[in-house]
Amino acid sequence: MMIGTMAELKDHAKMMRKHPDMEHDEPNKVSVYSGVSRELIWQFTEVGTIDFACPRYGHFKGMRGEIKVAAK
């Protein structure tokens, strides 16, 4: 699972097609395997909309969405 702009998500999805077993250690990405729970903690510093998706091949179209960040 990855948080980022749609352009970043699409670029990473292309890279994942070439390297499907890629592990992630970046703060905005987490590798999650079947039957395993993981968490991605993110502190939003700006109001707006940010995208998230699973960039694995075959997952991207159905496993994505938006996070709407509002002011307190």
Q: Which domain holds residue 47?
A: 2-69
Question: pTM for the whole thing?
Answer: 0.80
Residue 68's DSSP bridge partners are 49
Q: What is the pLDDT of residues 16-51, one digit of tens each?
A: 888 888 777 788 988 888 899 989 899 999 999 999
SS3 state at 20: coil
Cα dihedral 29, 4, 53, 56 sign: negative
Tell me how many domains the chain contains. Answer: 1
Alpha carbons within 13 A on the beta-carbon side of 69: 12
The pLDDT value recorded for residue 67 is: 95
